[in-house]
Chain A
């Protein structure tokens, strides 16, 4: 007999929600869905409503910058164990770039509007979510600053 497990274990074992309080996790799981993206398909596109974020379980997601009149430029990858998407937290809730599956990607999506409502109603939960998002945002900001310095100071090989 095939046993179907709920999303709870998938969410609870993702590093982003490590050590999260059980009742808070139950609240969050109510906003979650299991998703699979085939190679090249979009998780989201620049300018569209940012109504989700994703816990990447398996595979590699590429963030791309849309460039008018030219092919998009791949600027960053996010891999298993990481999360992608915080535009759902910040008005006007629009994606600022594209995210595509670079190979098959398995992810748990979290409905942003659903979670925002729950965070408004339960400020302790809201604070907990912000405490987890802020270090991710800070780390990525720091990494991008590093990349700017790296690009400005390390030789391109072209002179």
Chain B
């Protein structure tokens, strides 16, 4: 697709292996076990990135993890990362406070397309913390709202108390130009919203396949059911974009930890057009 950046074409650091110090200026608890950081470069310089890219965050003396950038890429003041406590590094990171300094390498990876999809209807499909890598694209779409058709967001969480960015979902739902479908796996009796899988929310949304571009951020195993639901609504694989995550380490396609068939997720992804990798999903050994 013309205009779609390849690899680390956008905002690639000068030396991608050297961490740059960033200071934490805000820590926000999002839902249980998930927090967000606002970061600013200690050297006072800028930081350019595109929606969908990720950084390697380095807690000195502990370790480094790949985390998607989840803020607004037009925000020149700070970058935002939303982090789930999943292992020793992220657990140690959760104890940091405002004023602490971490190392940042990045931005890495292929971003979501923006300009190439002007004029299309858009549907976002995600669940739990998967909204974090999609939020920069949603911000960008809303910045340029008149350049797109219908905007539909399908989001799922486990329960009613772990809905990520709930305030923003309410704001987006309140807009006349955005449809938001939130679904939960289970809820207390009396809950008035939709209960079921994310795929069921996709099937229930009024998606008109023709000129719809879909953006999916689920775990690798749940990506296929989400894609299947989009196919049922008439969205073809060439119009479905997915972001995947494996064990990113170097960030530049050298170490091989995140290899997926002939691709490296850190360099050739994390965003893929689904038809490029559809055949790989059928190979269990990968």
- Contact surface of A with B, Cβ cutoff 8 Å: 40, 60, 62-64, 71-77, 79, 100, 102-103, 143, 146-147, 149-151, 153-159
State in angstroms the CA–CA spacing of A63 and B186 once bound together: 10
Q: How many A-B pairs fall under 8 Å by CB?
A: 93
User: Is B204 an interface residue when CB atoms closer than 8 A count as contact?
Assistant: yes
Name B163-196 residues within 8 Å CB distance of A: 164, 185-196
Flag if B129 contacts A157 (CB, 8 Å): yes
> In the complex, what distance in Å separates the CA atom of A10 from the CA atom of B162?
39
Kindly identify which residue among B156, B192, B196, B218 contacts A76, using a CB–CB cutoff of 8 Å.
B196
Q: Contact at B200–A156, with CB atoms within 8 Å? A: no
- Write the B115-129 contact mask toward A (1 if CB under 8 angstroms, else 0): 000000000000111
A selection of 15 A-B contacts at a CB cut-off of 8 Å is A60-B192, A72-B189, A73-B187, A77-B193, A79-B194, A103-B192, A150-B156, A150-B197, A151-B158, A154-B128, A154-B222, A155-B33, A155-B129, A156-B158, A158-B33
Q: Which single residue of chain B is at the shortest CB-CB distance from A147? A: B197
Contact check, A146 vs B191: say whether CB atoms are below 8 A apart: no
Contact among B128, B187, B199 for A155, CB-based, below 8 A: B128
> Do residues A143 and B204 form an inter-chain contact, with CB atoms below 8 A?
no
Specify the chain B residue showing the minimal Cβ separation from A64: B189
B1 touches A (CB below 8 Å):
no
Taking a contact as CB atoms under 8 Å apart, the answer to whether A62 and B195 are in contact is yes
| B-side contacts of A155, CB under 8 Å | 33, 84, 86, 128-129
B residues near A77, Cβ cutoff 8 Å: 193-196
Q: Which residue of A lies closest to B224 (CB)?
A: A146
Tell me, yes or no, whether B31 is within 8 Å of chain A by CB: yes
Q: Which 9 A-B pairs have the closest CB atoms?
A: A157-B33, A72-B189, A74-B187, A77-B195, A158-B33, A147-B197, A159-B85, A157-B162, A146-B225
Q: Given the interface contacts A157-B84, A159-B33, does A75 sit within 8 Å of B186 by beta carbon?
A: yes
Q: Is the CB of B194 within 8 A of A60?
A: yes
Given contacts A153-B222, A157-B33, is CB(A146)–CB(B190) below 8 Å? no
Indicate if B32 sits at the interface (CB-CB under 8 A): yes
* Of the residues A76, A150, A156, A157, contact of B195 by C-beta under 8 Å: A76
Contact call A102/B192, Cβ cutoff below 8 A? yes
Known contacts A73-B186, A74-B188, A74-B189; is-contact A153 B196 (Cβ 8 Å): no
Q: What residues of chain A lie closer than 8 Å to B198, measured between beta carbons?
A: 150
CA distance A100 to B189 in the complex (A): 9
B242 CB → nearest A CB, Å: 15
| Bound-complex Cα distance A158 to B91 (A) | 11
Does B34 have its Cβ within 8 Å of any Cβ on chain A?
A: yes
Partner of B86, one of A40, A143, A159: A159
Instruction: Name the CB-closest residue of B to A82.
Output: B204
| A155 to B85 Cα, complex, angstroms | 10
Contact of A147 among B32, B185, B188 (CB under 8 A): B185
Is there a chain A Cβ closer than 8 Å to B259's Cβ?
no
Q: Which residues of A contact B91 (CB under 8 A)?
A: 159
Using Cβ atoms and an 8 Å threshold, which residues of chain B touch A63? 195
Contact pick for A158, options B32, B130, B192, CB 8 Å: B32
Contacts of B237 in A (CB 8 A): none
Contacts of B221 in A (CB 8 A): 149, 153
Closest to A149 in B: B221
B197: which A residues are within 8 A, CB to CB? 143, 146-147, 150
* Beyond A73-B186, A77-B195, A157-B162, 4 additional pairs, beta carbon < 8 A: A60-B192, A102-B191, A155-B128, A157-B128
In the bound complex, residues from chain B placing their C-beta under 8 Å from that of A156 are: 33, 128, 158, 162
**Closest chain A residue to B200, Cβ basis:** A143
> CB distance A79 to B162 under 8 Å?
no
In the bound complex, how far is the Cα of B186 from the Cα of A67, in angstroms?
Answer: 13
In this complex, what residue of A is CB-closest to B204?
Answer: A79
